[in-house]
Chains A and B, each alone.
Chain A
Amino acid sequence: MALSETYTNRIDLKLVAEMVTPGTRVLDVGCGDGALLALLAETRQVDARGIELSREGVAGCVARGLSVIQGDADTDLADYPDDSFDYVILSQTIQATRNPRLVLEHMLRIGRRAIISFPNFGHWRMRSQIFFRGQMPVTDALPYSWWDTPNIHFCTIRDFVTLCEVVGAQKERAVALDAAGGKVGVSAPWWFWNLFGAQAVFLLKRG
């Protein structure tokens, strides 16, 4: 993964990239400045496409040569045909969507696989802020106060597993990362992941 060091320091992005088979077609929903798309295009030689809400993000992506459309995950995924991508990726974005269930269903319809990474609201530091301080958690990774946060649908790893069951998604891989970016023990039970995983990455396919 040495090459990817030049593209990103974000461990979750590298983990997502590892899950993608080289030479495939990938749609990154909420691609931001295009860091993951650029990483995938360079290291996995994928046909990389993106959707991004912010005008600045899209302009930046196009200026670095990526195929990115200004659009909204909540409304624009409906326009994509079935099976048009090998992977549809939602990186650190599901908590900001208005209808996470619908977004996930569209991802599983458009792509043969879906990859979702998200912050775990069940992490012990989150729990401790609510438990001891009685306040909504504010962390380095999630620095917003409750009144101005774009994140309107937080979930824990356990909650996300429930959503997967509701939409009939099948888990091919699931990885939890601790706050330092290390993988939480592979054979650990769910309650352990849910407590010590700062974020999680799921590789899903239709059930």
Chain B
Amino acid sequence: MHDEIQSLADPLKEANEPSSPVVRFDAATPLVMDCGVVLDSWQIAYQTYGELNAAKSNAVLVCHALTGDQHVASRNPITGKGGWWTAMIGPGKPIDTDRFFVICANVVGGCTGTTGPASTNPETGKPWGLGFPMVTIRDMVRAQAHLVDALGIESLFCVAGGSMGGMQVLEWAASYPARVFSALPLATSAKHSAQNIAFHEVGRQAVMADPDWRGGRYLEEGTRPSKGLSVARMGAHITYLSEPALHRKFGRKLQDREAPTFSFDADFQVESYLRHQGLSFVERFDANSYLYVTRAMDYFDIAADHDGVLAKAFTGTKTRFCVASFTSDWLFPTADSRAVVHALNAAGASVSFVELESDKGHDAFLLEEPNLFATTRGFINAAARARGL
């Protein structure tokens, strides 16, 4: 146990010197960002699982969600916990690492080794902070495309992800249709809704209201806006669950006590749970990254990039799509997935869609959901047959 604690990585160090593989790019391969900034010196941290075949045709790119990272199916060096999608990815799992070469990269704007606000700005030698250019989902995908190039892979067998990961999947299919053989966007949307932008704004304001945020310069000044980021996480976490799931898990049960204390202690289990979620989050995540990545989701609207017509983003696509939503997901409701499916149909794309029954809310895509696994396995296997894998 002691060794385990000793071996935990320092989150600040991980931002620049990740313990996972990293590709560093210079002015020969700049990252051209939607906001107009061109990054001449940037890096992308990633993990891989399984082996790339000789034809380089079995690569699966997994895109992570808002607070995810590249450690999709292996121990996270910062938390010491297992990967965030081990239910889906591994030997014999629906995305089978015995058959496929799985790649997962930290997003641009993130804080676990890909360039973001916690990284050092090479021009100043100090953390980027709010000097970091505003990031979009398309910027994240562009960066991943550079990584895929660097790995010598022309076409990906599949791009998969849920929530913000699903946004990247859709952006991949729209931006690089010839490089995406199959796409698995789960619990996601082609645009961020007003309600979701609103939730994100509450989270960002909580971070910025913390005096220790220091106008974004907390890393230089040796403080951390832990209270603000923790409140942001607590609020967001509620949106990832559902009323039935909260009721089933906690109800009105009290935390380690027989009766209410008539105080603002965490009397209820659900309060204690949320506080724990908030506190453990700030240990591993950079507050400015949270601002940038939530903003990237807010700006996401594929149709807006295609004359307001979503179907135009997918005209002529040969990619095979499988879209799935969950009945109790009120953050990315089924209607959002249906809008994607309608557009894909209008574009004549090969698309499957299923709304899966679950009371676990938005987080269902990360959890043990046998129907999701069966659907994914069937879709992946059929796509693999079509690709001759």
| Chain A contacts to B: CB under 8 angstroms | 47, 49, 55, 58-59, 61-71, 79-81, 84
Contact = CB atoms under 8 A, between A and B. Distances in A.
A59 B375 contact: yes
B354 A59 contact: yes
Contact of A63 (B320, B346, B377): B377
B350 A67 contact: yes
A62 B355 contact: no
B382 interface: yes
Contacts of B351: 67, 69
Contacts of B383: 65
B330 to A, nearest CB: 18
Smallest CB-CB A-B distances: 5 pairs: A65-B382, A63-B378, A69-B353, A58-B354, A62-B352
B333 to A, nearest CB: 14
Contacts of A62: 322, 352, 354, 375, 378-379
Given A65-B381, A67-B320, A59 B353 contact: no
Contact of B348 (A63, A69, A79, A84): A84
B276 to A, nearest CB: 34
Interface centre among A47, A49, A65 (most CB of B within 10 A): A65
A132 to B, nearest CB: 45
Contact of A55 (B320, B352, B357, B379): B357
A73 to B, nearest CB: 14
A64 B348 CA distance: 21
A61 B352 CA distance: 9
Sorting the interface of chain B by its residue count into under 10, 10 to 19, 20 to 34 or 35 or more gives 20 to 34
Given A67-B352, A68-B352, A70-B354, A59 B374 contact: yes
Interface in B328-387: 341-342, 345-346, 348, 350-357, 371, 374-375, 377-379, 381-383, 385
A70 B353 contact: yes
A58 B348 CA distance: 19
13 contacts: A55-B355, A58-B352, A59-B356, A59-B375, A63-B374, A63-B375, A63-B379, A66-B382, A67-B350, A67-B351, A69-B345, A80-B345, A84-B348
A65 B385 contact: yes
A66 B345 contact: no
B328 to A, nearest CB: 14
A49 B350 contact: yes
Contacts of B348: 81, 84
A93 to B, nearest CB: 19
Interface of A is mostly: mixed
A58 B325 CA distance: 13
A65 B357 CA distance: 20
Given A49-B350, A58-B353, A59-B375, 15 more contacts: A59-B354, A59-B371, A59-B374, A62-B352, A62-B354, A62-B375, A65-B378, A65-B381, A67-B350, A67-B351, A68-B352, A68-B353, A69-B353, A71-B353, A79-B346
A112 B201 CA distance: 50
A54 B389 CA distance: 31
Nearest to A68: B352
Interface in B148-166: none
Nearest to A65: B382
Given A62-B375, A65-B382, A65-B385, A55 B356 contact: yes
Interface in B308-328: 320, 322
B265 to A, nearest CB: 43
A84 B375 CA distance: 26
A79 B342 CA distance: 6
A83 to B, nearest CB: 10
A79 B348 CA distance: 11
A180 B318 CA distance: 43
A129 B345 CA distance: 44
Nearest to B377: A63
A69 B357 CA distance: 15
Contacts of A64: 378, 382
B216 to A, nearest CB: 45
A65 B378 CA distance: 6
Contacts of A55: 354-357
A63 B375 CA distance: 5
A84 B348 CA distance: 7
A67 B341 CA distance: 12
A73 B90 CA distance: 38
A116 B252 CA distance: 55
Contacts of A71: 353
A80 B354 CA distance: 18
A64 to B, nearest CB: 6
A70 B345 contact: no
Contacts of A81: 345-346, 348
A161 B175 CA distance: 48
Interface string B21-54: 0000000000000000000000000000000000
Nearest to A63: B378
Nearest to B384: A65
